[in-house]
Amino acid sequence: MHDYVVADVFTDTMLEGNPLAVFLDAADIPAERMQRIARELNLSETVFVMPPESGGDVRLRIFTPVNELPFAGHPTMGTAFVIGELTDKISIIMETGMGLVPFELDRVDGKVQWARMRQPIPEWQPYEKAPHLLEALGLETSTLPIEVYRNGPRHVFVGLPNVRALSALRPDLLMLADHLDMAANCFAGAGSEWRMRMFSPAYGVAEDAATGSAAGPLAIHLGRHGLVPFGTRIEVQQGVEMGRTSKMYAQVTGAANEIGLVEVSGQAVVIARGTMLI
């Protein structure tokens, strides 16, 4: 039997944000069974926590319903809150497939209220299937160049002129499924306030309520193309069209040719505890 916790991530309100299952004592679960458990729970991600091996406090394995990810944002953020609830730590270093991911926890009266993660700095390049992607999304063009960023998952960014157009998107998920190993992140906004929708049949997620691993790359994308000055903290809302509003905050230091710190922050709330009878 294995105990697990369910948390709603990038929100402080139960039944909003992006849900996540966290198995806290998973050292004896084989990888094949981890994948089957993730498929059974059918959340966008499920996390399995194990003893550290490379200098961190814990080691994570992260699974979507169809595959394992070396790094993801809302699973690591939610795990930070779950561990924070069980300990008095103010910092946690997580071992992931993309290396060490440090977290700082802000507490009020001992309870974790806020967490900040330092994300891996992604690589980026033009997306080679941009015309087909636009067709799958039902769009003719993007407000910025369509580029793919990799910080574990591969995130492709497509800009829309306004939030109304973003909310009106009705993508062809069968066409999107032809785009392997990628998530299509569509965004709109201005200044420090942005909205995003993420579609990724390739990762087993038709639409995601909060994509923390895309928040940092979005801030880089906006900075590189001159829409947001580097060093500005942006707010990214997601999940609005799903009825699961999430709020992520991202800040990138440095310059277009030399990225410094990529920090993503937010909240989470534990909503359930359970035992899997396996």
Catalytic residues: 45
On whether the CB atoms of residues 17 and 268 are closer than 8 A, the answer is yes
Partners of residue 266 on adjacent β-strands: 115
SS3 97: coil
**What does each C-alpha distance from 41 to 23, 88, 276 come to in angstroms?**
12, 29, 10
Q: Which DSSP letter does residue 172 get? A: -
What is d(CA 10, CA 41) in angstroms, rounded to the nearest whole number? 20
Q: CA-to-CA distance for 199 and 173, rounded, in angstroms? A: 8
* DSSP-based three-state secondary structure for 160: coil
Across-strand partners of 156?
Answer: 148, 184
Going by C-alpha positions, the residue among 230, 260, 262 that lies closest to residue 249 is 262
Residue 65: C-alpha distances to residues 32, 47, 56 (Å): 12, 11, 26
CB-based burial, 41-78: b 16+ in 10 Å, e otherwise:
bebbbbbbbbeeeeebbbbbbbbbbeeebbbbbbbbbb
| Burial zone of 223 (CB within 10 Å; 0-12 exposed, 13-18 middle, 19+ buried) | buried
